[in-house]
Amino acid sequence: MSLSDEQIAPTPTTLQDAQSGSEDTEPVDSSMQEFYQLYQELLVITLALTGVIFISVWIAYSPNIALNYLLGACAGVLYLRMLAKDVERLGREKQSLSKTRLALLVGLILLASRLNQLQILPIFLGFLTYKATLIIYVVRVAFISDSTKLRQP
């Protein structure tokens, strides 16, 4: 009798792996829940920051510049949403992130360069509002983790 003729009986770890199909989906579900919570938090921070900056620009400069900023900020929120959808599909349907989201910014800048009513700089800075949101989030998380380390004996 050779090794190729023998039947290999499944070991307990193989049986446990086969039975734990529902356990494997639980960490994925919890990580997706964390992702959705992070997305919601970033969206709320971005919208709040957009409102504060929009009102400040309206008061400090002019309504036209404030509306240009708001147009860029709306494009930034749309970009953040497209990025979240792309990340959500990563792993299940896709292997890498697509680059088509940048077409949104390029199209907006091209439109601003063609129309006299639109100004490129406020639109671009409005678009970057979501980046300020990310900076605020990272700094906040860094301070929270540092403060919890200091409290532990």
**What pairs with residue 94 in β-bridges?**
90
Q: What is the pLDDT of residue 30?
A: 81
Name the residue with higher pLDDT: 120 or 23. 120
pLDDT tens digits for 20-76? 444 444 556 788 888 899 999 999 999 999 999 999 999 999 999 999 999 999 999
3-state DSSP call for residue 101? coil
- Taking a C-beta distance cutoff of 8 angstroms, is the pair 55, 70 a contact? no
Q: What is the pLDDT of residue 73?
A: 96
Q: What is the pLDDT of residue 92?
A: 72
pLDDT tens digits for 127-150? 999 999 999 999 998 888 766 666
Q: What is the pLDDT of residue 15?
A: 42
Name the residue with higher pLDDT: 26 or 13. 26
pLDDT tens digits for 82-105? 988 888 887 677 777 777 888 888
- Taking a C-beta distance cutoff of 8 angstroms, is the pair 29, 38 a contact? no
Pick from 119, 47, 14: nearest CA to 55: 47
